[in-house]
Amino acid sequence: MGVKRAVELVLKTAGENPGPIYTWGPLIHNPQTVDFLREQGVEILEDISNIPSKSTVIIRSHGIPPEERDTIASSDVTLCDATCPKVARVQALIKKAAKEGDLVVIVGNEDHAEVRGLVGFAGEHAVVVADEEEARQIEFEGGVSVFGQTTINREKYERIARVIKSNNASAKIFDTLCDSTSGRQAEISELSLDADAIVVVGGKNSGNTRRLYEVAVDTGKPTFWIETADELSKENFLGMTTVAVTAGASTPHWIVSRVVEKLEAMNELRLPPWEWPRLKAIGFVIIQSNILTGLSAAMLGFSAVFLAGGGFNLPLFIATGLFMMSVHTLYNLVDWQGLALVDPSKIRFFWGNRKFLGIVSALGFMIAIPLSILSGTTSFILMCIGSVFALAFVSMKGMPRFLKARGFGTWRSIPGAKDILHAIAWIFVAGLVPVLSVAPPIWLGALAVLWVAVFAVLRAMLFSITDMETDRVLGRESIASIVGEKRAWYSTYVLMALACAIMIAGISLRVFAFQTAVEFGFLLYMTLLIAYFRRKGISRGTWAELAVDFGLLLSGAFPLLILLLK
């Protein structure tokens, strides 16, 4: 929690402050995250006595001594505190104990940034002990208060605390350990029972990752401490079938995902076919290039045309698919930070092929617009308008003045902007354009567009739920984070109920042709998919995207089958 909070706070600060931004020391002990922050313009301050004026200085998650805080606060800078709340609680307890005259004993590594900060709150009343031998030397006639570095091993802390208590009967022992860290350490022992080896992922300068490694080594299983997947060697895992993976508190989950991917690739024959890396590679090209997304949008557009009483229009079908493929590709090229967090495979694909994908995206617009004119002037005009808005969004350097005046410095700062823009694009291109090309009666056309709108919002909502963590890290609010995850899930049920109501009412009132009942097969798939995601959990990535977009593809596949069978 403390690590995530710190990164979120820094990125939010970076988005709101135009001046230079520094962290006093590494924000967290993970080199990859520090490099990621540096790319966002956040540098590490090297000298606290020479801070550039008008800059923003962020206190790292480990906390700092009071005198260092005073030095920063007295400078001509903006101070931002990213100290982990759990560390801040320990600081307050230590300050109170020192004020009461107690000897403050801190169990931990005296060279660790957190411990140095804690010592600062105790002043002359502090003693740091690292093991039981040092603890036996603690004898004090007055009060003794014992605190643990938040990331220390719980069993070790309790052993040392008992030693101190044996020599100082009135000593007060405070439970200041982070439950998340203790939980990870306990999980290693459990995971090791069924594992041939253990891989610990995290920065070599991370104290809690080091303790995870020590716990893993104590299990007797071969243990490998790595920072990135590039350090994995297939030779180290020959003859093994099961590998346990754990990570330090400051390790970004996209790095862990890459480690898991590489481990899977080392022994793919033991995986189910749908997890084979080579098969996934084919799927990656289809999904990550947004070919499937474009095809799904085209199918949903055809579904709307089918409900509106129209037939299969191949030029418009291709134009819709190419347009949506190009829009999503452009968005991914702009929002590469988000991809780096949620889907490491996708960012590698996009980053390695960004020039080619940019050209393909431009060609998609260039082909879609001429094709749309074959479906009428209205379709052509709407496609041109959509293209102008899409390209303007991608090339936009700043926000309009009226939005800046309301505190929206970037489009990410607008609550729910990402989800709303995606839904609008789908409604416009897969709903409004195809339906108007048929020119149906107004009520029939309205229901057909509403049908598309329901699933455009449903798609945005599902990915909003999966992207909640990433959106927080990137400092933007998703719809799910605004309404809450529980209400977001409820909204998916409401949307499915609305879709069923549209279909039942349309057929019952004879607004829709009876053959449109074939769409109940599509509705059943989406209902089961949402129920599965709700029960098992939905994680952002290639297969979640495949499952959702494949469902939308079915919306047009069933009607197309009906037409082919005629």
Q: What is the pLDDT of residue 398?
A: 59
Cα(337)–Cα(254) distance, integer angstroms: 11
Cα(32)–Cα(228) distance, integer angstroms: 9
Give the residues across from 42 on adjacent strands. Answer: 21
Average pLDDT over residues 103-110: 90
pLDDT bucket at 243, cuts 50 / 70 / 90: very high
Looking at the chain, the number of H-run helices and the number of E-run strands are 26, 11
Average pLDDT over residues 136-154: 85
Cα(248)–Cα(255) distance, integer angstroms: 11
In words, the CATH class of domain 281-565 is: mainly alpha
Assess contact for 291 and 325: CB atoms under 8 A.
yes
Alpha carbon of 550 to those of 104, 291, 318: distances in Å? 60, 12, 17
- Burial (CB < 10 A; 0-12, 13-18, 19+), residue 433, is buried
Q: Residues of the chain with pLDDT > 70: what percent?
A: 83
- Burial (CB < 10 A; 0-12, 13-18, 19+), residue 270, is exposed
Higher pLDDT, residue 518 or 111? 518
Higher pLDDT, residue 6 or 158? 158
Q: Calculate the average pLDDT of the chain.
A: 82
Give this prediction's pTM. Answer: 0.59
Average pLDDT over residues 256-282: 69
Model pLDDT for residues 436-451, shown as the tens digit of each residue: 998 899 989 999 999 9
Higher pLDDT, residue 59 or 305? 305
Write down the residue that tokens 């379709």 correspond to.
Answer: 379
Angle in degrees, CA 134, 137, 142, rounded to 5: 125
User: Which string of b and e fits 42-76 if b means at least 16 CB within 10 Å?
Assistant: beebeeeeebeeebbbbbbbbbbbeebbebbeebe
Cα(507)–Cα(501) distance, integer angstroms: 10
Domain layout of the chain by residue ranges:
2-83, 87-177, 182-271, 281-565
Average pLDDT over residues 73-97: 87
User: Looking at domain 2-83, which CATH architecture does it have?
Assistant: 3-Layer(aba) Sandwich (3.40)
Fold (CATH) for 182-271: Cobalt-precorrin-4 Transmethylase; domain 1 (3.40.1010)
Which of 30-34, 210-214, 410-414 comes out lowest in average pLDDT? 410-414
Average pLDDT over residues 66-85: 85
HEC per residue, 83-95 = CCHHHHHHHHHHH
Tell me: pLDDT of 405 over 90: no
Cα(28)–Cα(202) distance, integer angstroms: 11
Q: What is the DSSP string of 338-364?
A: HHHHH-HHHHHHHHHTHHHHHHHHHHH
Nearest to 552 by CA among 520, 515, 523: 523
Per-residue DSSP letter, 513: -
pLDDT bucket at 388, cuts 50 / 70 / 90: confident
Does the CA dihedral 75-81-84-90 come out positive or negative? Answer: positive
Other residues' Cβ atoms within 10 Å of the Cβ of residue 145: 21
Assess contact for 4 and 472: CB atoms under 8 A.
yes
Q: Which amino acid is at 195?
A: A
Model pLDDT for residues 329-364, shown as the tens digit of each residue: 877 776 655 555 555 555 566 666 778 878 888 898
* Rounded (to 5) percent helix, strand, coil in the chain: 65, 10, 25
Q: Which of the listed CATH numbers 1.10.580.10, 3.40.1010.20, 3.90.230.10, 2.30.30.30 matches domain 87-177? A: 3.40.1010.20
Q: How far is CA 483 from the centre of its chain?
A: 18
Q: Which amino acid is at 238?
A: L
Cα(119)–Cα(121) distance, integer angstroms: 5
Tokens of 139: 């004898």
The answer to whether domain 2-83 and domain 87-177 are alike in fold is no
pLDDT bucket at 141, cuts 50 / 70 / 90: confident
Model pLDDT for residues 44-67, shown as the tens digit of each residue: 877 777 777 888 888 888 888 888
State the alpha helices, DSSP H only, in 123-232: 132-135, 154-167, 179-192, 207-218
Query: Is 114 annotated in the active site?
Result: yes
Q: Kindly name the residue from 43, 100, 114, 261 that is annotated as catalytic.
A: 114
Which of 98-107, 204-213, 330-339, 490-499 comes out lowest in average pLDDT? 330-339
